[in-house]
Structure formats: C-alpha cells, structure tokens
Chains A and B, each alone.
Chain A
Amino acid sequence: MKARAATSFGEDATSSAPLLRVRSLTTSYVGERGSLRVVDDVSFSLEGGKVLSVVGESGSGKTALCRSIMRLFPTSKVHVDGQVIFDDQQLLELDDLEMSELWGTRIAMVFQDPMSSLNPVMRVGNQVAEGPRRRLHMARSAAKERAISALKSAGIADAKQRYSRYPHELSGGLRQRVAIAIAIANGPKLILADEPTTGLDVTVQAQILSLVNQLSHSAGIAVIMVTHDLAVAASASDDIAVMYAGRVVEIGPAREVIGHPRMRYTEALLLASPRLYQTPHARLNAIAGRPPDPLDLGPGCAFSPRCPHADSRCFEERPELTASSEDQRHLYACWHPASAALDEFAKLAVK
C-alpha cells in the first residue's frame, strides 16, 4: 500500500488481462417471503481505462450488482455466489479486513447524492485528504497536496480556495466533483459510480460525464456506471450492459447496443424515451405493464409479459446470452431478436 502512495493517479494504464472479471455472479437476498435473486448469473469483464454502463429500471438489480462487487452487503442476509476477479484477486474469497483494505484505495465508489455522501460538517478538502491520510498513511501536508491535485483532476479550477469550503457552500455539480475527487484521491483502479449524474442539471451532467470519461481514459481507471438513462449510458461509455429482473439481457459495445439493439427490452426502452428528432406530440411507444415482481418470475424470459413479440417459447424457456453474428462482443438474450438498426440512436454513442 505504501509503495503505491507516492505514485500519481495513472499508473500502468495498459495490462493484458482484464482488470475486472465477473463470473456467474448471483446475489440472493433471504427475506420473509423466501429467497430472492436480485442479481442472477451475471458475467462480464472490464479493462482498465474503459467505462461500462449498467442500465436498468428500478428493481432491475443494477445497484445490487455494484454492491455485490463492492461486497457492501451484510453477509448474514445476502448470499453472493460466483466469482469476482479484480486484479487477479478473488474478491469474494477475501476476508473482511482484506476487503476493507481495497475499499477506497484500489476500488472506490461515487454515490448518487453527494449531499448525503459528503460529511456536512467537514471541510471538503479534508474529506478528500482523509483517504490518503488514513489509507496511504501520508503526512498531513502531503495528503493536502494530494487532495488539491485530486480536486484539480476532478475539474475544480480554484481547488485551493474550495479546499476549505463546506459541502453546503458548493453547488450540486461541484459537490459531485468533490465526491469524484475523494474517489480518485487514492489512485484507484476501479470506480463504481451509482447514478452519478441523476440529481444534477443537464448542463452539469454533461460536464460530469465528460469528466468521468476523461479520468478513466487518462488514468486507466475502469469505471462501472449505474444509470437508468440509456442516453447517458450511450454518450459516456465504451460498453453497455442492460439489466432486467436481475439478469444482464444485453451487453456489448455502446454503439452496437444502442444502434443495433437485439434484445426486445433494450429496443423498447430506446423507443420509449422521447427524442428530439421526433416531432412534438409524437406518440411515445410506452412499454406496457411494469417491471416484474422478482419473487414471481416465470420460467421464461422475464420481459415476456410486457413484450409485444413474445410467443409461447418466450414464456416457457429462458433465453441465454448469445453472441451477435455481426459482432462477437455483442451478446443478447432473446428468442426473437430485433433486426432493424436504429440509426438515430447509433449516433448517440460517441465512441
């Protein structure tokens, strides 16, 4: 740990094996009404310097996936199975002490609401410096230097003045930048961001998204970003994973998933949200019904009750992820995949 302390945020940006490999991750919550799979057999891998967006509606398990990787669940009530291999370490096999050493140093988290994740009675600079002080055992002055450079990297121009402000004195966007500075202060390799821009104004959202990308690419940090907004995911990530009822139903390069969605749910989600190229008052293709009760899933595809293309097979047999014929990295789970390309959406993806 100490050896790492002196280095800057961006060491060894390139490495051969993926930084993070998730294999058959299954998270079950044992509750009063029985066992509930909130994350069901999820596998993916992520390289350093790449941004993966996990998209889904509420209850789809996207937040639970993040927490499972971070091991932020109370073990008494939640069972996590499968493998999470981060930097050649099996995270699920580490004991609590070893895991807590990873938190905040090599894996960091950014939450949705910086107002509640920041300590209201502590100067923001000190909150950023706390990580280097505690985790990397830096001296006070060195930690302060480090905090200021982290604040600068997070796009706060006059970091020295802002250092001694309290969270309530900053705007929402600046607060989220501070939260990001806290996350990067210890030079992590993986950042999990849970809806990092949801409460923010559009103008600020755009800046935060570009900041996340810039940090990821320049410092080689892998980022998993949880969001409900496909447009946000498209504009700010390399890969997109779409989750529904605890499972990843489509995953692949952002441009492929957005521009050529195969899984019917992804397609429906894209068509449901209003877009500027439509004429005003264009009727929206609402998805009928609502997300399923996770305790009451049928044997088939979880989306089948809402899917206009579903037939009896969809209700009875669950589709597995299969690779698209056009791009081997593009996987989808659907018996009746969409074939039409959505060119307007392909343009959404910037990468």
Chain B
Amino acid sequence: MPEGTESHQVDIDPDTLHNDAHGHGGARARDKTSAGVMEANSQEPGKRVLGPAFWIAVGWIAIIALAAIFANLLPLPNPNLTGAGPAMAGPSLAHLLGTDELGRDLLSRLIFGTRVSLVVSFASIAIGTAIGGSLGIVAGYVGGVVDWMANALAYIILAFPPLLLLLAIAAFSKQTLPKLVAEFAFLSLAPLFRVTRGATLAVANREFVQAAVASGAGRFRILTREILPSVLPSVISYALLGVAIVIVGEGSLAFLGLSVALPTPSWGNMIAEGRTFLAVDPWISLIPSLAMFSLLLALNFSADKLGERFGSREAKL
C-alpha cells in the first residue's frame, strides 16, 4: 500500500484535467447496452441540432402568424369589400391571388381568415395547456386522492363526443370567437392533462428529483425547478400537435357553417364558399386548403422534431 496523501493527489488530478467531453469513461452499464461502438462515437446529446428543415417549418409558422397579426397594416383591401376587383378573376398584380365570386380579394380574405384559425387554435391550446398541464403536473407529482380525482374528471371529459358537443352548442347559440376558444380549450383539457401527468410520472421518481427532495426543497420548488423543465419539451411538442388538430376542427366547423358567422372570413368558410364553384374555379377553395395544409405540415413536423430531439435526450439517461 503506497503512502496516503500525496498519492491521493495523483489519484484525482489527471481525471480532472482531462478535457474531453465524452461519457465513455463512465457508467459501466452503457458499455453493455447494444453498441459499445456507438457509445464510443456518440456526440454529446446536448449538441444535437434540430436541422434546417425544422427552422424552415418554424419560419413558415412565424410568417403566417405575423401576417395574421399585422393584417391591418398590410396594403390589402378590406376582405369583406365586394367588388374590390372583377368577380372570379385569376391572379393579377392588383389581386395577387385573384378574387372570389363577389369580387373580394382572396389574398386579403386568406390573411384575415388566418386570424380565426390561429386565434382559435393557439388560444384554446394555450388555455388547455395552462389548465390541463398544471393539473397534470400536480396530479402526477402529488398523486393520491388529487391524482385520482383529476384522472376521473379527465375520463369524463374524454367521454364527450367532441363533434356532437360543438354541434349542440352551435345549435343553441350563435358562435363567437371567445366561445369557440372556450369550447376547444375544454376539449383539449383532458388529453393535455394526461400527457403532462404521464411525463411527470416518468420524471418524478428519477434520482435527481429524489435528490432535491432529500436536500430539503419544498414541493413547489421541485415542481417548478426540477420537474417542469423536464416535462415542458414533451408537453410543448404535444401542444403543437393539438394546435394542428384544432385548426382542422375549426375548419370543419366553419365548413359546416358552425364557426364564426359570415362574412368574417375563415379558412373553413372560404373552402365552403368555393365549393359551389369547384367545377368552374377550383382556385377559390384550393388556396385556403393549401394554406391550411402547409401550416399543418409545418406544425406537425416541428412538433415531431421537438419530440424527437428531447425524447432522444431523455433516452440517453
């Protein structure tokens, strides 16, 4: 046995000074997983990029959102102004996307119509995530009776047939934007609750959370500082998918004439209006359809990428 103290210095220092960032000196368990090779070559997971396609998708969503927000500032004719140009004209310099059967500017209607879709989808999901998400994180972490009750409530909400609920409400009273938001928020509560609760359960028993408990952190602190950051990415990813679903839902309602009342444009009612002229001029329906399609594609893709990125990072642990 060599002498104590100075050998101690030797024990430790070189490890310290070792400046590479690879994990392969570490947990033996990792060597035994499928690929000893992959492990040796794996990059730091934190450095993984989302890729240019993700940023293109996010950029597209941002462009659409910005256009909707600043629609009033854009050099566009009033979307409800009939006879802004000749009826059912093709694209021209004055009307970039042409006009509809009443001579209204299609680009203007499209951009103003975006407002309805985006406001309804983002607002309802934001509310749903705020309420359902917080309930989920609390229920998942606290457990016990709270969890049991919240879960029971979620089951009840999930049992509502969503379309029937929307139709019933629309049948009784005139749809307005706030009402639509509230309806979709209600419907999104249960799924978002369950996703957050699941993600929380997965994290709540992890050792770093236990370490925080053992170091004396209170429940609120653990929820907000240990669990929330780990749960958030997967919830956001899921919420983005929710936004896409609500956009389709609102579109379907509008198509049935059960969304915001005409003449306020929305993508759904634009498609519905163009339907009559499909044979003559498919353009009118096609434009809002394409807009919806591209937005959904961008939303789903970015949600997927986010989930993948953070999901794989979780898996590393």
User: Measuring CB to CB, which residues of chain A are less than 8 angstroms from any residue of chain B?
Assistant: 27, 29, 31-33, 36, 38, 57-59, 61-64, 67, 73, 78, 112-113, 194-195, 198, 228, 278, 282-283, 285-286, 288-291, 293-296, 305-306, 308
Contacts and interface: CB of A to CB of B under 8 A. Distances in A.
B7 A194 contact: no
B41 A63 contact: no
Interface stretch (B21-29, B55-63, B120-128, B190-198): B21-29
Contacts of A198: 32
Contact of B28 (A58, A285, A290, A296): A58
Nearest to A306: B14
Given A283-B2, A291-B24, A63 B36 contact: yes
Contact of B25 (A113, A228, A291, A296): A291
A282 B1 CA distance: 7
B32 A59 contact: no
A331 B4 CA distance: 33
Q: What are the 5 A-B residue pairs with the smallest beta carbon separation, nearest first? A: A58-B31, A290-B25, A289-B14, A31-B41, A63-B36
B41 A32 contact: yes
Contacts of A195: 32
Contacts of A290: 15, 18, 25
Given A59-B24, A305-B14, A283 B40 contact: no
Interface of A is mostly: loop
A113 B33 CA distance: 10
Contacts of B18: 289-290
Interface in B258-313: none
B19 to A, nearest CB: 10
Interface string B225-246: 0000000000000000000000
A293 B11 contact: no
A38 B24 contact: no
B42 to A, nearest CB: 9
Nearest to A77: B37
A59 B20 contact: no
A64 B36 contact: yes
Which of A32, A36, A63, A308 has the most C-beta atoms of chain B within 10 angstroms of its own C-beta? Answer: A63
Contacts of A33: 41, 43
A194 B20 CA distance: 28
Given A59-B36, A291-B25, 6 more contacts: A58-B39, A59-B25, A62-B36, A78-B37, A283-B7, A291-B24
Contacts of A306: 14
Nearest to B39: A59
Contacts of A305: 14
Nearest to B8: A283
30 contacts: A27-B37, A29-B37, A29-B41, A31-B41, A32-B43, A33-B41, A33-B43, A58-B24, A58-B27, A58-B39, A59-B31, A59-B40, A63-B31, A63-B36, A64-B37, A78-B37, A112-B32, A228-B28, A282-B1, A283-B1, A283-B4, A285-B1, A285-B7, A288-B11, A288-B12, A291-B24, A294-B24, A294-B40, A295-B41, A305-B14
B13 interface: yes
Contacts of A294: 24, 40
B10 interface: yes
B30 interface: yes
Nearest to A78: B37
B213 to A, nearest CB: 27
A56 to B, nearest CB: 9
A285 B7 CA distance: 8
Contact of A285 (B2, B13, B37, B39): B2
A345 B37 CA distance: 32
Given A58-B26, A58-B27, A288-B10, A38 B40 contact: yes
A295 B39 CA distance: 12
B11 A286 contact: yes
Given A29-B41, A285-B2, A293 B22 contact: yes
Contacts of B4: 283
Contacts of A194: 32
B14 A38 contact: no
A71 to B, nearest CB: 14
Interface string B149-188: 0000000000000000000000000000000000000000
A332 to B, nearest CB: 23
A29 B43 CA distance: 14
B32 A63 contact: yes
A33 B38 CA distance: 12
Contacts of A29: 37-38, 40-41
B43 A38 contact: no
Nearest to A56: B31
A81 to B, nearest CB: 15
B1 to A, nearest CB: 5
A61 B22 CA distance: 16
Interface in B92-108: none
B171 to A, nearest CB: 49
Nearest to B7: A283
A62 B24 CA distance: 14
Nearest to A279: B1
Contacts of B13: 288
B14 to A, nearest CB: 4
Contacts of B28: 57-58, 228
A286 to B, nearest CB: 4
Which of A32, A278, A286 has the most C-beta atoms of chain B within 10 angstroms of its own C-beta? Answer: A286
Which of B8, B22, B25, B31 has the most C-beta atoms of chain A within 10 angstroms of its own C-beta? Answer: B31
A78 B34 CA distance: 14
Nearest to A34: B41
Nearest to B43: A32
A288 B14 contact: yes
Contacts of B40: 29, 36, 38, 59, 294-295
Contacts of A113: 32
Contacts of B41: 29, 31-33, 36, 295
